[in-house]
């Protein structure tokens, strides 16, 4: 199967971490695909009219997206446990995943905004992103025991990728100050071989 891929997309990284955890990484052929928010990619548009990555193309031509759909497909293919069966454990895992996805969406928009010329920035948005980031970190700090107690799942994958993206693009924030439990949780997650194999590189 072919994956529209970039080394720096945190949503692509979710898929690659899942593939590593599930032992499927060598079945995925990555296609380097640039998908900037302001420049739709003509080749990618043929597979995904939103021009977003990750987008997975199966051998029979079936196209799957977004990261949630692809990760759940890979989990099913491998007979994995990244998506618990219906019940409290599943709703918890999916809500953590949604928190990680929404956190990443906010961080990506924040980064887009602060890279604009100052005269085109909207300060109220940047202030809102800062509030949401602080609240998300505080919430996660209070949930590290629950995260540690749950079997490793798609929630852990997503939150780990989100915190690593924060390190990658917002190194100035010093998020570990005031969040010592979360910092320790993230240190353990990023030491996993699946995270080590998919570390983003600047460029």
Contact with its own copies (CB under 8 A) among 116, 146, 178, 196:
116
What is the DSSP track for the chain?
Answer: -EEEE-TT-HHHHHHHHHHHHHT-GGG-EEEE----TTS--HHHHHH-TT--S-EEE-TTS-EE-SHHHHHHHHHHHHT--SSPPTTHHHHHHHHHHHHHHHHHHHHHHHHHHHTS-GGG--HHHHHHHHHHHHHHHHHHHHTHHHHHHSPS-HHHHHHHHHHHHHHHH-GGG-TTTT-HHHHHHHHHHHTSHHHHTT-----
Q: Give min distance, CB of 40 to its own copies, in A.
A: 5
CB nearer to its own copies: give 179 or 195.
179
Q: Is 68 in the site for its own copies (CB under 8 A)?
A: yes
Q: Is 51 in the site for its own copies (CB under 8 A)?
A: yes
Q: Is 149 in the site for its own copies (CB under 8 A)?
A: no
Contact with its own copies (CB under 8 A) among 43, 131, 184, 197:
131
Q: Is 1 in the site for its own copies (CB under 8 A)?
A: no
Return residues touching its own copies (CB under 8 A): 37-40, 45, 49-52, 62-66, 68-69, 72-73, 76, 86, 88, 90-91, 94-95, 97-99, 101-103, 105-106, 109, 116, 119-122, 124-125, 127-128, 131-132, 135-136, 138-139
């Amino acid at each position: 199967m072919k994956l529209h891929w970039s080394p720096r997309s945190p949503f692509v990284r979710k898929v690659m971490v899942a593939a590593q955890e599930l032992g499927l990484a060598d079945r995925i052929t990555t296609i380097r695909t640039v998908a900037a928010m302001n420049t739709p990619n003509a080749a990618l548009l043929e597979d995904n009219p939103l021009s977003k990555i990750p987008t997975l193309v199966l051998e029979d031509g079936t196209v799957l997206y977004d990261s949630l759909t692809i990760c759940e497909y890979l989990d099913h293919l491998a007979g994995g446990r990244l998506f618990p069966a219906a019940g409290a454990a599943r709703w918890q895992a999916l809500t953590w995943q949604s928190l990680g996805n929404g956190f990443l969406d906010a961080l990506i928009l924040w980064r887009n905004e602060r890279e604009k010329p100052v005269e085109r920035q909207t300060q109220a948005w940047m202030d809102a992103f800062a509030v949401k980031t602080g609240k998300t970190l505080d919430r996660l700090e209070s949930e590290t025991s629950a995260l540690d107690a749950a079997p490793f799942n798609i929630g852990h994958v997503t939150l780990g990728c989100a915190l690593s993206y924060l390190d990658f693009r917002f190194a100035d924030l010093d998020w570990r100050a005031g969040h010592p439990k979360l910092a320790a949780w993230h240190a353990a997650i990023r030491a996993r071989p699946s995270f080590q194999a998919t570390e983003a590189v600047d460029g």
